Amino acid sequence: MTCASCAISLESYLGPLDCVSSVSVNYPNQSVAIEYDEEVVSLETLGQKAKEIGYEIFSKTPGKDSETFEELEDRRLATLRSKLIFSAVFSIPVFIIAMFFMGKIPYENWIMLALSTPVLFWSGSEFYVIAWRKLKHLTSNMDTLVALSTGVAFLFSLVNTVYPQYFISRGVEPHVYYESAVIIITLILLGRYLEERAKRKTSSAIKKLMGLKPKEVTVIRNGAEVIISYDDIAKAELIVLKPGDRIPVDGKVRKGDSFVDESMITGEPIPVRKAKGEEVFAGTINQKGTLRILATKVGGETLLAHIIKLVEQAQASKPEIQKLADKIAGIFVPVVVVLALITFFVWYFIGPEPSFTFALVSLITVLIIACPCALGLATPTALMVGIGKGAEQGILIKDAQVLETAYKIDTLILDKTGTITEGKPKVTDLIWDSDVDVSIHQKSLLAIEASSEHPIAEAIVAHLKELNTAVIEVDAFESITGMGVTAQIAGESHHVGNDRFMQSNQIDIPENLLKSAEKLKSEAKTVVFYSCGASVLGIIAIADQ
């Protein structure tokens, strides 16, 4: 499709067919959503109907045709670039001769004719082919305007080049308008090339989401690990996930213990601990340990597939302002053609001499000015780019209508801290009791936290390393999920964890440290207690910027 009018004509052509309940054509992402009765009419039949008015429908089969779509888009962009460069190379000399050397070069009209012909009949061929197809079905689009304006300008100039005596004998200078025809085609091609590039960049948002699916997956079959393609994963498949692997399906953990980065789904940046029986989702990343998961949802059933579908539907949805623009675009071309003809006849019958020349120039001018239809293009392109950019940043927009009413928003409520934080916890405060030998206990704290896989432990380790703390050996280590860790160092028992963990182990928290901890909690910081023996010796506050 080359303009918003294409979407209207395709909708109006397919919509009235029997067994078709609804048709929604989206020009910017070159898609059509059709609801039809499969028992009565096939997609092939609908494709044949579309072909009658010059369109080819490609059905999108998941995991099968996506490369075909990309190849088509790449080929379209490459062809547009070639035609644009070719057009510019031939058009610029025509423009220079017409603007600066008119009447100064021998056979200039013939030179401009020779340079203009390939521009019109190769670079601009698409405009004339589409306009002719439309005319056969008594419809029109923006290509009709381009073909009319450039075609009339070229033919008028051709007559004045081959047979200038017609106007000379009537005392009129036989002007040529080759530069108008070729420059219009070059500028329209430039606009289309830039528009196509913008659309390719926007569709990359969907491709990035699709890129969250791994190409190959390790599964257990007949008791052995086998590497298979993502498309070959079956339900109830047992999948092996090593540290750093992206999870390919929605499933449940059967074996193992690890932390999983679920930020692309929840917005919560701190990895979540996953153990046997817990759910994992496609597109998230296994961080620390090895997991074996049972696939419960694969392919189009996964949460990630639903997110991709949501973004595609949002890009295809239309707000009220676009529906209005589409209605106007549908009658825009015929109205412009009628106005151009009225202009011609007014200049021809009541304009000054040479009335025919003035009438023709005025006709061409009206057609040219109306060519690049910003009306039908601005709204859908802005919506598509906006929704695509949102998806790139992890912001999913339900449909185009919400963007149209978004200016009314005066309060924004966020349900997760991770939505507005960096996802990199850092130590903000390290407070020791007054009688503590800091150098010794800092070493013990570093040794314990270095043995832990928890994301908060990583923040404490990073902070202590900045303080140039030496590393010592841990004799024994045990992690208690959701509470903390215990460790044995040089025969002494150490505990690191939350206040509930300290209370459950009957460890005393001095009053001064308890007050400091309450103050830090009121500042929305995570507080970790460190003890050696029967008393807490220090507290660590961690915050996510």
H/E run at residue 211: none
Which residue positions in the chain have pLDDT lower than 50?
62-64
What is the CA angle 9-33-266, rounded to 5? 140
Buried b (16+ CB within 10 A) or exposed e, 407-431: eeeeeeeeeeebeebebebebbbbe
Q: pLDDT of 29-72, one tens digit each?
A: 678 888 888 888 888 888 888 888 778 888 765 444 555 667 77
Q: What H or E segment, with its residue span, contains residue 220?
A: strand 216-221
| Alpha helices (H) in 54-177, listed in sequence order | 66-100, 108-118, 125-136, 142-162, 165-168
CB-based contact 28:199 (threshold 8 Å): yes
Q: What is the pLDDT of residue 376?
A: 57
Separation CA 492–CA 517 (nearest Å)? 25
Known catalytic residues are 415
Torsion on CA atoms 358, 360, 364, 365, rounded to nearest 10: 10
Residues written for the chain = 545
Amino acid 502: pLDDT: 92
What pLDDT is stored for residue 468 in this prediction? 84
Q: Report how far Cα 426 is from the mean position of its chain's Cα atoms.
A: 32
Strand order in the sheet with 526-532: 425-432, 535-544, 526-532, 492-497, 484-489, 476-480
Phi, psi of 122 (to 5 degrees): -120, -65
Q: What is the pLDDT of residue 201?
A: 63
Task: Name the token pair of 457.
Answer: 């432990």
User: At CA 100, angle to CA 96 and CA 102, rounded to 5?
Assistant: 100
CA distance 345 to 134: 25
Question: What backbone phi and psi angles, to 5 degrees, belong to 508?
Answer: -80, 140
